[in-house]
């Protein structure tokens, strides 16, 4: 069921007892949600669900985020894929 694990010395480690495996599998199906405190939410950089919509147009999203930083030379192109699979972000032509 499980592969044999080895420690840093290369020695085989004992197999996990079945009851522990069941516990670990149950943890993989965690459904609880932990709501942040109002204090934490008030200082968060992300304060709405709109962040998920912004992910649909990631180039515009990162262009807007980069605008919050002081740049020595402004970029002329947010993302350059002309040499795919290599990308260049915030290109100054």
- Report pLDDT for 37: 94
- Report pLDDT for 52: 77
pTM of the model: 0.46
Band (3; pLDDT cuts 50, 70, 90): low
Could you read off the pLDDT of 70-91 as tens digits, one per residue?
999 999 999 999 999 999 999 9
Strand pairing report for 77-83 and 86-91: antiparallel
Is residue 51 within 8 Å of residue 59, measured between CB atoms?
no
What's phi and psi for 36, nearest 5 deg? -70, 155
- Report pLDDT for 13: 73
Could you read off the pLDDT of 18-70 as tens digits, one per residue?
776 677 777 788 888 999 999 998 998 877 777 777 778 899 989 999 999 99
What does the alpha-carbon distance between residue 25 and residue 46 come to, in Å, rounded to a whole number? Answer: 32
């Amino acid at each position: 069921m499980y592969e044999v694990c080895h420690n840093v010395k290369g020695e085989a480690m004992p197999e996990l007892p079945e009851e522990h495996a069941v516990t670990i599998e149950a943890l993989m199906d965690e459904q609880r949600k932990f709501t942040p405190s109002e204090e934490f939410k008030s200082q968060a950089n992300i304060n709405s669900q709109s962040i998920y919509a912004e992910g649909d147009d990631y180039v515009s999203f990162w262009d807007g985020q980069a605008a919050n930083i002081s740049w020595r030379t402004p970029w002329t192109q947010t993302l350059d894929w002309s040499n795919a699979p290599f990308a260049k972000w915030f290109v100054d032509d």
